[in-house]
Chains A and B, each alone.
Chain A
Amino acid sequence: MAKALLIDITKCIGCQSCAGACKEAHGQPGDPEPKLSETALTVVQEKNGKFVRTQCMHCESPACASACLVGAIKKTALGPVVYDKSKCVGCRYCMMACPHSIPRYEWSKLAPYMKKCDMCYEKRVSQGKPTACAEACPVQATIFGDREEILREARKRVVNDPTYVPRIYGEREFGGASMFFISDVEFEKLGFVTPGSEEPLPEVSKAALDEAPMVVLVGGTMLAGLYWITNRRKEVLLAQAQKKTLKFPIIDEEKRS
């Protein structure tokens, strides 16, 4: 059963409990940080008078996973998009591809890896426990549950309360996600990226990749055909040349001079 998180921006009090719990769960020392970094996989930032959490959206069809050269990033059946650092070669295409610009890199290390929220996949979610951030939230601004149920709850809140913006961010953006946001302020004002279309990004590059076999086939055949024609022409020319030589033997110009 796929899991998801709902973050209700109207309820968040900016206490940073989630960011602290995240650090603890991932064994990262220090206090919550103001910006996403390789040691802060989720942050709470104040934007337009609201407290907004930022972390990986765990897209339904993740651009990072489709971009990854070595397939180190995978969307799991449970929902989390996870990263297998043992495969990574450090090309950083995932960071470029992410429409939310979430992945961070350990720039300070000589053997750097990518860092992003893993939705507590290994230690918690895969064992049926909620994420550390959801568990730590004192006001239930972040709640964890089955994707369908969480989405139903989000819809209920948005429909029943007219102060909410009638939109669940993460339901359809970039083909949907496992992290939903509801808010009483326009999402654009809170720094959320609004895509031009709902088409998942991997589809865009897939369309280009799918053309390749056809192009190779048609191009290869055409080139081979052209070669055949030019080769044939050469043979004909050669035959004609031989005929001519029999009639008028060539005098080598270098020898003559």
Chain B
Amino acid sequence: MKKTIPVWRVILIAIFVAGAYATYLRFVKGWAAATNLSDAQPWGMWVGVATLCGVGLSAGGFATAAAVYLLGMERYRPIVRPAILIAYLGYLSVCVGYVYELGLPWLAWHAFIYYNPHSVLFDVCFCILAYTTVLTIEFSPAIVEKLPWKGFRDGYMHWHHRLATAVVLAGVLLSSMHQSFLGGLFLIFKGKIYPLWYTPHLTTMFYLSAIPAGLAMVIIALYLCNRSLDAKVDPAIIKEVAWVISPLLVLNLVWRMVDLVKHGGGPYLFLWRPETAYFWLEIALFIAIPVVMFNHRWIMNRPEGAYWTSAVVIAGFITNRVNVSINSLERATHANYVPKWPEMAVTVMLIACAVLAFRYAVIYLDIVPKKVVAKTKSWLANAGVAANA
């Protein structure tokens, strides 16, 4: 333990130094120094990875909140806070990422005074900002409960408790909207997108794939909390979340294939082209390999089994988003885009910031259970919370 921390510190410092230099390049030296973006490839890694994956991997927040607050699955209450924190940090990094991505970031507020309701991007923007606000409200008790002013604390908690369900409901709707509209962004590129990724239901594709990826992210975070931060999250809960992901992935596969064949992508499935390889890589990483791993007893019985399987799911999810936003367009736009190092450095720095913030939140706030709670009698398990209310 003592040996590993300095190594990670060195890596972190390297990440932040590189990120700071990349920031300098982007805002002082300009686009050409910081990116490989061009007229043929105006959207690159900052959209494909920083935005699409940042939002997508945060889907665990609304999924667990809905399960606990709306569907009454009280058993999962201990993982709602970490899931919401992941989502909150994810959205904050997306917002920061947009400062790099926009050409005129200091004018970003124009989106709200000159809004164009026909633009899918406007809907995405609106929902992301609204949902970031919702997440702030959902997460706020974790900070407020640590404040020293008792009167304010009690008053805040009282009102928060009364409004929680409504806030969660709004959050679920907003999330569902923009998770799918992120796919909707690509609808207007009809004709430019390679047939393996174009469907009029890109919205559904993005929504269906975000949920398992978001849950995989929650598993990774919980496992790491248990391993390195002395958290005591019941491993059974982690395992159960893993059990949910697998059927969701199968649903993704079935839906994808039916939709693909229905919209004329069938003939492209086995052509000797780079796109074919990207497509099968995505299917393998996002669906095929994880489904096998999730259903393999030897893997799942190991404490790190669900963790590594979730990592594969996330790799597959990122492949999917990069495929849709970059690889699917290159044949039509004749672009040959590979991100320049500052683009990667900025993205990695944003991720590192989120991970660090998560770590310190877990250490200093009550995010995850830190001691084993005695089991309640089974017939009281669901009534317990109602009794508190």
Min CB distance B205 to A, Å, is 12
Contact assessment for A244 and B379 in the assembled complex, using a CB-CB cutoff below 8 Å? yes
Q: Which of these, A113, A204, A209, A211, contacts B190 with CB under 8 Å?
A: A204
The verdict on B272 contacting chain A, using a C-beta distance below 8 Å, is no
Given that A204-B187, A227-B70 are contacting pairs, would A93 and B114 also be in contact in the complex, using a CB cutoff of 8 Å? no
Contact assessment for A219 and B110 in the assembled complex, using a CB-CB cutoff below 8 Å? no
Min CB distance A166 to B, Å, is 23
Of B69, B105, B191, most buried by chain A (CB within 10 Å of CB) is B191
Contact assessment for B385 and A89 in the assembled complex, using a CB-CB cutoff below 8 Å? no
Given that A69-B122, A71-B115 are contacting pairs, would A108 and B32 also be in contact in the complex, using a CB cutoff of 8 Å? yes
Interfacial residues of chain A within 55-112, with CB under 8 A of chain B in the complex: 63, 66-72, 87-93, 95-97, 99, 101, 103-105, 107-112
Q: Which of these, A207, A223, A234, contacts B383 with CB under 8 Å?
A: A234
Contact assessment for B382 and A233 in the assembled complex, using a CB-CB cutoff below 8 Å? yes
Interface of B, secondary structure class, is: helix
Min CB distance B196 to A, Å, is 15
Contact assessment for A241 and B184 in the assembled complex, using a CB-CB cutoff below 8 Å? no
Q: Which of these, B111, B115, B123, B190, contacts A201 with CB under 8 Å?
A: B190
Q: Mark A174-206, 1 if CB is under 8 A from B, else 0.
A: 000000000000000000010110000110111
Min CB distance B200 to A, Å, is 7
Contact assessment for A89 and B102 in the assembled complex, using a CB-CB cutoff below 8 Å? yes
Given that A97-B188, A99-B192, A224-B169 are contacting pairs, would A112 and B31 also be in contact in the complex, using a CB cutoff of 8 Å? yes
**A36 contact set on B, CB distance < 8 A:** 39
A215 to B187, CA, bound (A): 18
Min CB distance B335 to A, Å, is 10
Of B40, B42, B110, B123, most buried by chain A (CB within 10 Å of CB) is B42
Interfacial residues of chain A within 95-149, with CB under 8 A of chain B in the complex: 95-97, 99, 101, 103-105, 107-113
A234 to B380, CA, bound (A): 10
- List the B residue with the shortest CB-CB distance to A195: B191
**A227 contact set on B, CB distance < 8 A:** 69-72, 165, 169
**A72 contact set on B, CB distance < 8 A:** 114
- Count of interface residues, chain A, beta-carbon cutoff 8 Å: 66
The verdict on B377 contacting chain A, using a C-beta distance below 8 Å, is yes
Contact assessment for A63 and B102 in the assembled complex, using a CB-CB cutoff below 8 Å? no
The verdict on B120 contacting chain A, using a C-beta distance below 8 Å, is yes
The verdict on B10 contacting chain A, using a C-beta distance below 8 Å, is no
Contact assessment for A206 and B383 in the assembled complex, using a CB-CB cutoff below 8 Å? no
Contact assessment for B115 and A90 in the assembled complex, using a CB-CB cutoff below 8 Å? no
A54 to B117, CA, bound (A): 30
A246 to B169, CA, bound (A): 36
Contact assessment for B31 and A208 in the assembled complex, using a CB-CB cutoff below 8 Å? no
Contact assessment for A193 and B191 in the assembled complex, using a CB-CB cutoff below 8 Å? yes
Of A195, A208, A254, most buried by chain B (CB within 10 Å of CB) is A208
Min CB distance B26 to A, Å, is 10
The verdict on B152 contacting chain A, using a C-beta distance below 8 Å, is no
The verdict on A216 contacting chain B, using a C-beta distance below 8 Å, is yes
Min CB distance B363 to A, Å, is 26
**B31 contact set on A, CB distance < 8 A:** 107-108, 112
Given that A204-B200, A219-B176, A241-B379 are contacting pairs, would A69 and B32 also be in contact in the complex, using a CB cutoff of 8 Å? no
- List the B residue with the shortest CB-CB distance to A93: B121
The verdict on B295 contacting chain A, using a C-beta distance below 8 Å, is no
The verdict on B255 contacting chain A, using a C-beta distance below 8 Å, is no
- Please classify how large the interface on chain B is, using the bins under 10, 10 to 19, 20 to 34, 35 or more: 35 or more
Contact assessment for A216 and B173 in the assembled complex, using a CB-CB cutoff below 8 Å? yes
The verdict on A237 contacting chain B, using a C-beta distance below 8 Å, is yes
- List the B residue with the shortest CB-CB distance to A222: B70
Contact assessment for A208 and B203 in the assembled complex, using a CB-CB cutoff below 8 Å? yes
The verdict on A163 contacting chain B, using a C-beta distance below 8 Å, is no
Min CB distance B105 to A, Å, is 8
- List the B residue with the shortest CB-CB distance to A94: B42
Q: Which of these, B69, B111, B116, B382, contacts A237 with CB under 8 Å?
A: B382
Contact assessment for B125 and A69 in the assembled complex, using a CB-CB cutoff below 8 Å? yes
Contact assessment for B181 and A208 in the assembled complex, using a CB-CB cutoff below 8 Å? yes
Given that A93-B121, A193-B191 are contacting pairs, would A110 and B27 also be in contact in the complex, using a CB cutoff of 8 Å? yes
Contact assessment for B42 and A96 in the assembled complex, using a CB-CB cutoff below 8 Å? yes
Contact assessment for A70 and B72 in the assembled complex, using a CB-CB cutoff below 8 Å? no
**B375 contact set on A, CB distance < 8 A:** 253
Min CB distance A114 to B, Å, is 8
Contact assessment for B172 and A223 in the assembled complex, using a CB-CB cutoff below 8 Å? yes
Contact assessment for B70 and A230 in the assembled complex, using a CB-CB cutoff below 8 Å? yes
A124 to B64, CA, bound (A): 59
Min CB distance B386 to A, Å, is 4
Contact assessment for A250 and B377 in the assembled complex, using a CB-CB cutoff below 8 Å? yes
A202 to B69, CA, bound (A): 38
Please name 8 pairs of A and B residues whose Cβ atoms are closer than 8 Å in the assembled complex, sorted by A. Answer: A63-B188, A92-B42, A105-B39, A107-B31, A195-B191, A206-B118, A233-B382, A234-B382
| Chain B residues with a Cβ under 8 A of chain A | 27-28, 30-32, 37-40, 42-43, 66, 69-72, 101-105, 107-108, 110-111, 114-123, 125, 165, 169, 172-173, 176-177, 181, 184-185, 187-192, 200, 203, 333, 374-375, 377, 379-380, 382-383, 385-387
| Chain A residues with a Cβ under 8 A of chain B | 36-37, 63, 66-72, 87-93, 95-97, 99, 101, 103-105, 107-113, 193, 195-196, 201-202, 204-209, 211-212, 215-216, 219-220, 223-224, 226-227, 230-231, 233-235, 237-238, 240-241, 244, 250, 253-254
Lowest 4 CB-CB distances: which A-B pairs, in order?
A: A90-B103, A230-B72, A71-B116, A70-B114
- 17 A-B pairs besides A67-B120, A96-B42, A208-B181 with CB distance below 8 A are A67-B119, A72-B114, A89-B110, A90-B105, A92-B43, A97-B188, A104-B39, A107-B30, A108-B30, A108-B32, A202-B188, A208-B200, A212-B123, A223-B66, A230-B70, A233-B72, A241-B387
